[in-house]
Structure 1
Amino acid sequence: MDEESESLILGTLLALSGGLMDAYSFILRGHVFANAQTGNILFLGIYLCSGQWEQVLHYLFPVAGFTAGIFISELMHLSRLRPVHWKQTILAAEAFLLLLVPFIPLDLFANSLTSFVCGMQVQTFRKLKGHPFATTMCIGNLRSGTVSFVTWLCRKDHRHLRSAAAYYYVILCFVAGAVLGNALAPVTGLYTITGCSLLLASSWIVLHFQHRRHVLDELDQF
């Protein structure tokens, strides 16, 4: 199922979810980044220096949650759970956990759980059409897309142009997710995060049918 999980449609849904999660945590949950842990660590250092310990915890917990998400995802990867593929298990877990977030009153714990989900996602889905990419942050995609574009300019190999287009497309999907989160926040409030659950559930369905089609294609070859 590794090849199926690198499809453009799955990358689209996951990038939309990533942007929406970041918008939710920043707009509605105390200006914390669910995905961009560099920003959280920056603020953590600033408040640590000034001795504002409540704010230190405000940013430390999401970083810890993100790290725990990576840990759990890789543990499940190495365990290779059967019969349900581990990536489908991760998507189901993400969708379920985000449904709990609106009912957590304290931003500290709500952000930690959201970042935990982001950590699982960024560790689980790391390729798009064979190229390294991320669905929960943009800096790596921006670098890789620009490098591919420059390579195309120099070598005129259209494979690199297609690669650059895919990276920039994923960035646009992330931005679209953030725009969606910003538009929904005044209307749906803390329940805005359930939009991510819907996107992740859709990702599970896409991955399931792509895997099923792949299995049927393999059987047809015999």
Structure 2
Amino acid sequence: MEKEKTMYQALALIGGFLETYAYTCRDHVFANAQTGNIIKIGIAVAQYQFEDVLRYLLPVCAFVAGILCALRLQSADCILLTEGILLLATGTIPQGIYKNDLDNVLISFLCAIQMEHFRTPATTVCTGNLRILSEQLACRRFAQAGRYGNVLFLFISGTILGVLFTKYLGEKSVWILILPL
């Protein structure tokens, strides 16, 4: 149980880092959760900026592919190995190559397999965890609320680390995330 808790904590930190990395280092695309990209697709269509549609559609498609892949892999070890390989590949792509589309596709795929396999608490997005935290507080289940609060804290910590490391190491900063895997 302690090993699983530690794994979820590391994955939450990685989730926060990756979302910040994709946003700050790779053209302001949301790679973890696809809500932002779907909204940006709608905005691009409404503003007749059709060249941007593909930019936001690619990570959404990669996310779907990642979910399908995770359903096949099943094993946590296979998921973590796949994540490590994808992180290694992500850091080798220089910024600006194809407007960072390939990098965002890899991150979206990676986050999808993580999200599908490690479901509760969510480690790549915050909204569901915030909802459950609120419910647990309302029901005075403070231990459970603390679990979700801890995941949210680690996600935020990951975003802070993502900003700092990306500022100094650029695209290669994602290689740091291989260590906790």
* TM class, shorter-length: over 0.9
How far 1:199 sits from its partner (Å)? 2.3
Gaps of 5+ in 2: none
Alignment of 1:103 onto 2:92: yes
Aligned residue for 1:122? 115
SS in 2 for 1:22: helix
TM-score, length-scaled by structure 2: 0.93
How far 1:48 sits from its partner (Å)? 1.5
**Separation of aligned partners in 1, 2:177 and 2:2:** 21
Map residues 10-49 of structure 1 onto 2, 5 A cutoff: 10-49=7-46
Gaps of 5+ in 1: 78-85, 128-132, 153-159, 201-222
Deviations 1:165-186 (A, max 9, x none): 1001100100000000101112
**CA RMSD in angstroms, aligned pairs only:** 1.3
**Separation of aligned partners in 1, 2:2 and 2:117:** 13
SS in 1 for 2:179: helix
Code of the aligned partner of 2:29: V
Aligned length: 177
Code of the aligned partner of 2:129: N
How far 1:45 sits from its partner (Å)? 0.7
Aligned residue for 1:142? 130
Deviations 1:133-180 (A, max 9, x none): 20000000000011011011xxxxxxx210001001100100000000
Alignment of 1:180 onto 2:173: no
Aligned residue for 2:151? 170
Aligned residue for 2:106? 113
TM-score, length-scaled by structure 1: 0.76
How far 1:51 sits from its partner (Å)? 2.1
Aligned residue for 1:218? none
SS in 1 for 2:139: helix
Alignment of 1:71 onto 2:68: yes
Dislocated runs of 4+, deviation >6 Å: none
Map residues 88-99 of structure 1 onto 2, 5 A cutoff: 88-99=77-88
